[in-house]
Amino acid sequence: MSYNCIINLFPTLEHLRNCTVKRGITLSGIIITACFFLYATFGICTYLDKFDLLSASSALELYPAKNPFTIVATVCVIFILLVSSPLMIWAARNSVDATLFKGKEMTNLRWILTGFILCLLSAGLAATSSNILIFFNIVGGILIPVVTLLFPALFFMKATPNRKWYRTVQALISILFTVIAAVACTAQTALEIKNSSK
């Protein structure tokens, strides 16, 4: 969660008046700390309290709607969605524009249409999925390792030809882990689809 937030927030740093490495490190630290407390408070505590009752549904469903814990957790989830969704669309829109319209100046129409299409595709994929766990396994197990590990590793190797040998080893480990994660998650998803079809 925190790693995903960091890669989405970094593209916005270019708009700061004085974008420095220190600010980038500070931003990463704040995000990791905030995500840790969110997980510790609403994730780990829920598992400790309702571990035997947890299933594929949301853990919040196990608490009454008027429970203070449920209200606070729901407000926090809504806040995270309101803050993170535009940032994810921002980063995705910049990537789409750099890939499909390289060298062309951004226009207001293309900016709006790209964001609208990305939101529409995301909503459509979520709405048409009959099994949300399988959807998350495919997206989280294949696309996330590729975006967060494989692409940065390949970019790093291309951008730093005179790097130290151990940096190359680190990049290769990231690439190897991406392949293992993608294969394992794909196999798990295939088994779930096979079992659900019986």
> How many domains does the structure of the chain reveal?
1
Residue 144 falls within a domain, yes or no? yes
The reported pLDDT for the residue numbered 51 is 63
Residue 184 falls within a domain, yes or no? yes
Residue 148 falls within a domain, yes or no? yes
Euclidean distance between CA atoms 128 and 141, whole angstroms: 19
pLDDT band at 173 (very low <50, low <70, confident <90, very high): very high
Residue 44 falls within a domain, yes or no? no
Residue 40 falls within a domain, yes or no? no
Helical spans, DSSP H, in 39-164: 45-50, 68-100, 108-128, 132-138, 144-145, 151-159
Q: For residue range 108-158, list pLDDT tens digits in order.
A: 899 889 888 988 887 787 677 666 666 666 766 777 777 777 887 888 888
Does the pTM surpass 0.85? The reply is no
Residue ranges making up the domain that contains 144: 130-193
Q: For residue range 59-69, list pLDDT tens digits in order.
A: 666 677 777 77
On average, the pLDDT of the chain sits at 76
Q: For residue range 159-168, list pLDDT tens digits in order.
A: 888 888 998 9
Residue 154 falls within a domain, yes or no? yes
- Note whether 137 and 188 are within 8 A (CB): yes
Residue 18 falls within a domain, yes or no? no
Of 5-9, 82-86, 95-99, the one with minimum mean pLDDT is 5-9
